[in-house]
Amino acid sequence: MLITHDTRCALDTVVDLVNTAPDDDTPDGLANLAALLDFVRKHDMSDVGTLSELDLSAVRRIRGRFAAVFAAPDARTAASLINELVAAAGTTPRLTNHDGYDWHVHYFAPGASVADHLAADCGMALAFFVVAGEEERLRRCEAPDCRHAFVDLSRNRSRRYCDSRTCGNRLHVAAYRARRKEAAG
């Protein structure tokens, strides 16, 4: 599956967005407007005007809708969720080249809110996976104490953890220690 630079950026953005959601051990990564501003800067989002508390609320809402895509049990459910996100954003595909990037497609309308920007561009990036029959690559970490979202871009679709250096390594070490303890009796 060919993944263009802008699609890869949108995938990274949606994964990071979903992973800002609070859970039992982690506070909300979008706890305030300053956190949203940092998120927008980190992901080099263009055409984002002055942000407000309304933007923060809207982004939190679509974050939950994107989380549902990663939890979708099948392609039909994922497609339905993505269609709703993209339609609500009022997508307006247009070619653009800016900030040193060559021609690429933006799916959000000029002047769109940051939530619509995310819903359109990230929704379309996820849609490409459904169209290609690759929606199973939209996953959650298998570490029982993690469950972060990620996109499995491995050749053989074998990635199980959001980060093999942390979650994967931690579980492998724990399994090794359990085997040694059991063998020692």
Mind listing the pLDDT tens digit for each residue in 96-152? Answer: 888 788 888 888 888 899 999 999 999 999 999 999 999 999 999 998 888 899 999
pLDDT of residue 78: 96
Determine the Cα–Cα distance for residues 86 and 141; give it in Å rounded to an integer: 26
pLDDT of residue 175: 66
130: Cβ–Cβ under 8 A, 6 or more apart, which residues? 75, 78, 79, 82
pLDDT band at residue 22 using 50, 70 and 90 as cut-offs: very high
Percent of the chain with pLDDT over 70: 95
Considering the chain, what is the average pLDDT of its residues? 90
Q: What is the pTM of this model?
A: 0.87
Residue 166 tokens, joined? 């942390």
In Å, how far are 6, 51, 64, 145 from 150, measured between CA atoms?
17, 27, 15, 15
Query: Is-contact 101 6, C-beta < 8 A?
Result: yes
184: Cβ–Cβ under 8 A, 6 or more apart, which residues? none
Extract the runs of DSSP E, i.e. beta strands, from 18-171.
94-96, 104-106, 138-140, 149-151
Determine the Cα–Cα distance for residues 62 and 68; give it in Å rounded to an integer: 10
Residue 84 pLDDT more than 90? Answer: yes
Query: Is-contact 75 135, C-beta < 8 A?
Result: yes
pLDDT of residue 165: 72
- Residue with more model confidence, 159 or 14: 14
